[in-house]
Amino acid sequence: MKKRSACLKSAFLSGFLFTMFGSASVSLAEPVRFPLRELHRPPIIRLLPDLAVEDLKVNSDCQVVVKIRNNGPGRLPDEVWSVHTPKSAGIYLSIDGRKWGGATIWGFDGARALQAPGGMAEYTSNLKVSANSTIKAEIDLWNVVAESNKANNIAIKTLSCGVLPPLALIPPHRVIPPLRVIPAVNEDCITFNPETIEVKEFGGNWKIVDGSHWMFDFGSNKAEAEKAFSIIRYYRMNSTCYVGRPDPSFTYMLVSGSAPAGAFPGEDSIAFNPATIEVKEIGGRWKIVDGHHLMFDFDTNKAEAETAFAIIKKYGFRYSCFVGRPDPSFSYMRK
């Protein structure tokens, strides 16, 4: 009897110990888990596109044509073409301060030419002009597209379009004027050394300087100052020239007495034909025009218009180039 009681006590004690420590022994067999440290990965940098209104012009039917470019470095997202809403990204036009209308990118660029960096597309509107009209074009009016630069989304330009009479209607007794002789011009130029120029900040304004000579001012826009600096170094420009100082109506740059030649990578330029340019008075203002393209305005100063005309002919300039349109901080001309 005593032996049986001892066995029962032993069994009870074993069960009690198993109850108390059995589950603990199982948990001890499991691996100890510690929270993992967070890995510090560098942030993913998303390259954004840069839509810019490159040019405004009229075609042979007097319709306003807008040239748009994606300056990059990023691509336009697929949603620009796949998502259609009343406020989809597009081009919007105004004429003489009055809203006119426009078109979506997915509407006029079905081939997606604007999607890749450097891509260009043209929108030919039904807006027609005749006499001088101030046209404003704005890309992505509703800020649908996240861009690296919004400053170049707007361009404003005065356009006109007229129909010349056919040659058959010119009276037979009319005398054809002789060919225009381009007179020699006295040029007003300041030379500098492109190897010693610098971009410097003075009182919150960024400038390009050559020693103590302040050459160009860019206000608070450091990026435009650095781009102009790169352009000067690229061509090795060493002369800044003016027509009509101290408030010049026309400026240009030279490289050892010659026109800069070739395109600067990613430049903002407008082409023209130096063989067909003319000096014309339009609305009481003297201008240099190339067909319907109003290139330069000289207000009432005919003499300065003719001097600039002679300079363009002399150097054979074929492109007007800009940094920071629609209100450029730096401009130059090249072949």
- Residue pLDDT, tens place only, 39-74: 566 677 789 999 999 999 999 888 999 999 999 899
Asked whether the predicted pLDDT for residue 144 surpasses 70, the reply is: yes
pLDDT digits (tens, 9 = 90+) for 209-244: 998 888 999 999 999 999 999 999 999 999 999 998
Q: Where are the alpha helices (DSSP H) in the chain?
A: 2-29, 79-82, 105-108, 222-235, 302-315
Give the mean pLDDT of 142-164. 86
d(CA 121, CA 136): 18
Asked whether the predicted pLDDT for residue 333 surpasses 70, the reply is: yes
The predicted pLDDT at position 86 comes to: 63
Quote the DSSP letter at residue 132: -
User: Residue 117: left (phi > 0), alpha (psi -120 to 50), or beta?
Assistant: beta
Among 94, 64, 328, 84, which Cα is nearest to 217's? 328
Q: Are residues 301 and 288 in contact, defined by beta-carbon separation less than 8 angstroms?
A: no
The predicted pLDDT at position 33 comes to: 59
Asked whether the predicted pLDDT for residue 18 surpasses 60, the reply is: no
The predicted pLDDT at position 46 comes to: 81
Q: Give me the chain's average pLDDT, please.
A: 84
The model's confidence at residue 167, banded by pLDDT at 50, 70 and 90, is very low
Q: Are residues 109 and 67 in contact, defined by beta-carbon separation less than 8 angstroms?
A: no
Instruction: Say which CATH superfamily domain 51-161 falls into.
Output: Immunoglobulins (2.60.40.10)
pLDDT digits (tens, 9 = 90+) for 299-314: 999 999 999 999 999 9
User: Kindly report the CA angle at 288 between 62 and 254, in degrees rounded to 5?
Assistant: 125
Whether a cis peptide bond, with omega within 30° of 0, leads into 246 is: yes
The predicted pLDDT at position 259 comes to: 96
Give the mean pLDDT of 110-121. 94
- Kindly report the number of other CB atoms within 10 A of residue 227's CB atom: 21
d(CA 118, CA 302): 39
pTM for the model stands at 0.47
Asked whether the predicted pLDDT for residue 94 surpasses 70, the reply is: yes
Element (H, E) at 21: helix 2-29
Q: Where in the chain is the domain with CATH 2.60.40.10?
A: 51-161
pLDDT digits (tens, 9 = 90+) for 241-288: 999 888 899 999 999 999 999 999 999 999 999 999 999 999 999 999
- Unique residue bearing structure tokens 């990204």: 89
The predicted pLDDT at position 40 comes to: 64
- CA 272 to each of CA 57, 184, 242: distance values in angstroms, whole numbers, following the listed order: 12, 22, 20
- In percent, the amount of the chain with pLDDT more than 70 equals 80
The predicted pLDDT at position 37 comes to: 57
